[in-house]
Amino acid sequence: MSERKPIKIADEIKPFSGYKEDIYNCMKCGACRVAVRQSLPSCPAGNKHVFDSYYSIGRMEIARSIMEGDLEWNENTAKRFFNCALCGSCDNHCDYVNGTFSPMEVFLMMRRELVNRGLGPLPSQRPLVESVEQYNNPFAKKERGKNLPFKAKTVDRNTDVLFYVGCALEFDPTSSFITKESTELMNKAGVNWGILKGEEVCCGLPVLELGYEDLFAKLARKNIETINKSGVKTIVTACTGCMSAMNRDWSRYGELDAEVMHITEFADRLIKDGQVKIKGSYNKRVTIHDPCQLGRFNGIYEEPRDILRAIPGVEFREMERHHEEAYCCGAGGGLIALDPEWTAQTATERLQEALACGAEAMVIPSCPTCYLNFDMALHGYAGAVKLYEAVWAKVPAAAKFMGIAHKLSSPFMKMRKTVDIEVLDEIQLLNRVV
Amino acid sequence: MEEQKIKEAYKELAKIVGEQYVSKDKEDLMPYARDEVSQAFKTYLADLVVAPGTVEEIQEVLRLCNRIKLPVYPYAYGVSISSTALPRVGGLMLVLRRLDRILEINDETHTATIEPGVTWSKLFFEAKKKKLEPLGLGGGPHSGSLIGNFVLGGGNTGGIDINEEVACEVVLPDGEVMWTGSAGMKGHEKLNPWCRVGYGMNLTGVFHGSLGTYGVVTKVLRRLYPLRNIEERIQIGFDSFENCLKGMKDLVDLGISKQVYGVNGVQAAMIAADSEIIHDPVAYEAFEKTFPEFLIVDKISCYNERQQKVYRELIQETAGRYGGETVSYSGTTQDALSELWDGSSSVAIRYLRHNPHLMAFGMLPPSMLPGLREITKKIMNELDYELTSFSNKVIEHPRCWISPWERNESYLFEQEMEFVPEDPESVRKFLAFQKRYYEESAKYGSSQINAGFLKRMEPLMWPGYMKIIRGVKELLDPNNIMAPKQMLKDV
């Protein structure tokens, strides 16, 4: 036990400058741990690791203890701050209860500082960053726009819509079909669209979340410059992460002269404007998973639901945790690179919640990270992940992250299905009925 | 504690619960070192933290702690805002969060059997499916544990928790399991645990408010109440504290309410305000003025509209004698208030949102509460202790809760005394206030629910009273491993 020392924290002490009030404002109410009006937990990291140090309440205490000199920066700090999906659930609860600060901003500050000190990110997250540094994408791919599963023109001043493909949707074999579905829908609606092809670089969100602000800034500036030069006024992307980076984070490094839309927002508009006609039906009980980047960070909840409401035969069911309270699939914040076994377990819990509400199908408003993770969970990949670890150890570092998707999408594994529910991308479902 | 002993304990604990659920990393211990209030005093660092997943594992852990004389501090789900789950002499934090099952919600007996990791929100949510609800009191954090509140001794903010627990299962310090109430007979925990006072004594009460010093409460049978066709929350505004208390007393006497309790206007505003308005002092001041001096709720539970009509008329007539008028709001304000009156809710926890605070309690009959409030004001004036709200204007009296303890014999009165942890002067005044308040409120006649107060109150207690408190501790925990110095100064 130690006597309380007078707290002497100068405002200019880095990296806490600007975060002091946030850190002291944690009331230790524990609202970050529990879904507000439901019976289920809200924090994937705390749910797994149990100790408070993996919940917002504990991480804020760790930050405060470092700030006051009671703890040191070390590898243990890194473990607590990088074992987090950055799903924003604690932020949402904190805002609802306290309305005064954002734990997520503190987490990101801590991650940046851990990177500055050479303590972060964690070893299995580093290949992702190295790949972005080297290739401008996290999949160690040298060229872009070469093997896309759809035909596209390069965007120019006469193009109405830029379809921003995104790294995962181009290179991850499990979720790349979503681009095909998205472009197919736009073609059916007669949208005049194009892509950046080789000019597109990563949106930067994966490295931003891992604490690499400078690298993120470089990518954001490059994207803004390219897109503004193209003259396009509407950007549509089928990746929630890309959409979120464009809407929330790029503005720190430049002004984008275009409106950004997620494909489900765009599709909803196409339906409501009559450009997309629904002819078929889907006669199932359907629920929806709200991806964190789409819902909590950008407030897009109703458009994906409106699409489902527009499809005849769909009997819509909400899961216990939905909208702002939706449980993260577990894959965000760099966790899918850190511990895919855990992320798939988290997704399995979410699938069980979907089953519990009586759904026969769960729809994901296009998100490659959620889709990959749910696909892993659905087919029981989680248990197999460890088998690949030995293989990955021999693979060049930058290829490791890419390896997850490739290895796990093996046809052999596809034969197994551990949760009896259909998981669909929302545009994939829409294409079935238009 | 010596490094070697910690290392050995770690190894043994890992054998019991698995390595994933035990830690001696300072990063894992620091979050348990202080709570909202204790940050004004000291930090208390445990040496280890463990999170068992079964009662059997808890038994093993306590046997180990007894063998190696390792102090152990139970912590239910993990919301402590009153300095009662702090590792005061180091040792082991025993986190019970993994035991989070509702084992049964019984339709016939209207009880729920719950584990320590069951939160208020979880029980409310699950009980509602069976048209039942626990009788919580507004202000209880939805994220808190019912068993944590039981062991704390108060329950939700408010106090009626005392009669809500029918029986409990406890792992005694030596690792033995026992049940209280009618489940005190072996096997009756399954056959008939529903009689609260079994075999003459209320042993459940021994563990209520024991702060973990007598053992680890691992299950509680808690009363639930039916949700009828009409559940209405009638809001009544009063223009003064005295009128509010007189009205409240008569409403309790009516005997038709499920619950009656209330807050002062500044408290209601702070809870009802949305996240935007609290950042705008001018708008907040205007918002604050839309609330009456005191706002209470009378919850009624009716079978039909005829009953509801009669109840409404009776309540309005009774409150009206003291100038009480029914009030309603719109939009998010009414949404927040409705949720607040729903018992344990997420908006209720907003009473914590301005600055950290100490809950300065008083337990007195209603006619004595104005006197206690004046004592508070006098001490604040003498210390030049000012409290503000989001309007940045100084408030005349602290934010408060008032709740009858089931009937009119005693009311719980809670005043929120805030401080700014990073401001040494603010902390100094807060500490000075605390010392004076508890001395003067005790002289005035007020009692306290939290057994942690025995640390300072023991010289004022009847010797026989303390003989029982200490005797039980010595009998059950001769090695003094359970939560040392949590309740008493020396053990």
> What mean pLDDT do residues A181-186 have?
98
Regions of chain B where pLDDT drops below 70:
137-140, 154-162, 344
- Model confidence, pTM: 0.93
> What mean pLDDT do residues A108-131 have?
95
Neighbours of B456 (CB within 10 A): 14
pLDDT at residue A403 tops 60: no
Helices (H), A231-339: 240-244, 263-272, 302-310, 335-338
What chain B residue is nearest to A8 in terms of C-alpha separation?
Answer: B422
pLDDT at residue A9 tops 60: no
Q: Which of A23-32, A177-186, A342-351, B56-65 has the lowest mean pLDDT?
A: A23-32
pLDDT at residue A379 tops 80: no
CB B348 within 8 A of CB B297: no
Based on the number of CB atoms within 10 Å of its own CB, is A294 exposed (0-12), middle (13-18) or buried (19 or more)? buried
Distance of CA A346 to the CA centre of its chain: 14
CB contacts, 8 Å: B78 with chain A: 30, 33, 52, 57
Locate B144 and state its tokens.
């808190």
Spell out the residues 6+ positions from residue B382 whose beta carbon is closer than 8 angstroms to its own.
none
What does the DSSP 8-state code read for residue B247? Answer: H
CB B104 within 8 A of CB B58: no
pLDDT at residue A413 tops 60: no
- CATH class belonging to A124-270: alpha beta
**Paired strand residues for B220:** B114, B168
What chain A residue is nearest to B96 in terms of C-alpha separation?
Answer: A50
- The pLDDT assigned to B140 comes to 67
Spell out the residues 6+ positions from residue A236 whose beta carbon is closer than 8 angstroms to its own.
A161, A162, A163, A164, A182, A186, A193, A261, A262, A263, A266
- The pLDDT assigned to A147 comes to 84
- The pLDDT assigned to A13 comes to 62
Q: Does domain B102-226 have CATH number 3.30.465.10?
A: yes
pLDDT at residue A134 tops 90: yes
Q: What is the architecture, at CATH level 2, of domain A20-120?
A: Orthogonal Bundle (1.10)
Distance from CA of B17 to the nearest CA of A (A): 13
> What mean pLDDT do residues A109-116 have?
96
Cα distance between residue A372 and residue A87, in whole Å: 16
Put simply, whether B82 touches A (Cβ < 8 Å) is no
Asked whether the CA dihedral A37, A39, A44, A48 is positive or negative, the reply is positive
- The pLDDT assigned to B339 comes to 86
Picking from B124, B143, B276 by the largest number of A CB atoms within 10 A of its own CB, the best residue to mutate is B143
Digit-coded pLDDT (tens) for A255-274: 999 999 999 999 999 999 99
Digit-coded pLDDT (tens) for A223-233: 999 999 999 99
Cα distance between residue B25 and residue B48, in whole Å: 8
Task: Kindly give the pairing relationship between strand A234-237 and strand A161-164.
Answer: parallel
Put simply, whether A200 touches B (Cβ < 8 Å) is no
Distance of CA B113 to the CA centre of its chain: 19
What chain A residue is nearest to B49 in terms of C-alpha separation?
Answer: A51
CB A385 within 8 A of CB A309: no
**Of A306, A316, A307, nearest to A430 (Cα)?**
A307
- Considering only residues 159 to 198 of chain B, which have any Cβ-Cβ distance to chain A shorter than 8 Å? none
Q: Does domain B3-95 have CATH number 3.40.190.10?
A: no
CB A98 to CB B279 under 8 A?
no
Q: How many CA atoms lie within 13 A of B41 on its CB side?
A: 18
Question: Nearest CB to A39: which of B26, B77, B121?
Answer: B121
CB A286 within 8 A of CB A361: yes
**Of A90, A314, A293, A304, nearest to A209 (Cα)?**
A293
Cα distance between residue B13 and residue A154, in whole Å: 62
What does the DSSP 8-state code read for residue A196? Answer: -
CB A34 to CB B122 under 8 A?
yes
Spell out the residues 6+ positions from residue A118 whose beta carbon is closer than 8 angstroms to its own.
none
Task: Kindly give the pairing relationship between strand B325-326 and strand B230-238.
Answer: antiparallel
Digit-coded pLDDT (tens) for A159-173: 999 999 999 999 988
Domain-by-domain residue ranges, chain A? Answer: 20-120, 124-270, 277-433
Put simply, whether B96 touches A (Cβ < 8 Å) is no
Put simply, whether A24 touches B (Cβ < 8 Å) is yes
Cα distance between residue A187 and residue A192, in whole Å: 8
Q: Which CATH superfamily is domain B230-444 in?
A: FAD-linked oxidases, C-terminal domain (3.40.462.10)
> What mean pLDDT do residues A382-403 have?
48
Q: Burial letters for B213-236: b for 16+ Cβ neighbours within 10 Å, e otherwise?
A: bbbbbbbbbbbbeeebeeebbbbb
What chain A residue is nearest to B426 in terms of C-alpha separation?
Answer: A6
CB B33 to CB A97 under 8 A?
no
Put simply, whether A4 touches B (Cβ < 8 Å) is yes
What does the DSSP 8-state code read for residue B255? Answer: T
Task: Kindly give the pairing relationship between strand A161-164 and strand A193-194.
Answer: parallel
Amino acid at A33: R
CB B103 within 8 A of CB B114: yes
Domain-by-domain residue ranges, chain B? Answer: 3-95, 102-226, 230-444
pLDDT at residue A412 tops 50: no
Locate A409 and state its tokens.
């999408």
- Considering only residues 48 to 77 of chain A, which have any Cβ-Cβ distance to chain B shorter than 8 Å? 49-53, 57-58, 61-62, 65, 70-71, 76-77
- The pLDDT assigned to B315 comes to 98
Put simply, whether A341 touches B (Cβ < 8 Å) is no
CB B95 to CB A51 under 8 A?
yes
CB contacts, 8 Å: B123 with chain A: 39
CB A1 to CB B42 under 8 A?
yes
Kindly give the interhelix angle for B281-288 and B265-272, rounded to the nearest 10 degrees.
130
Chains A and B: how many Cβ contacts under 8 Å? 152
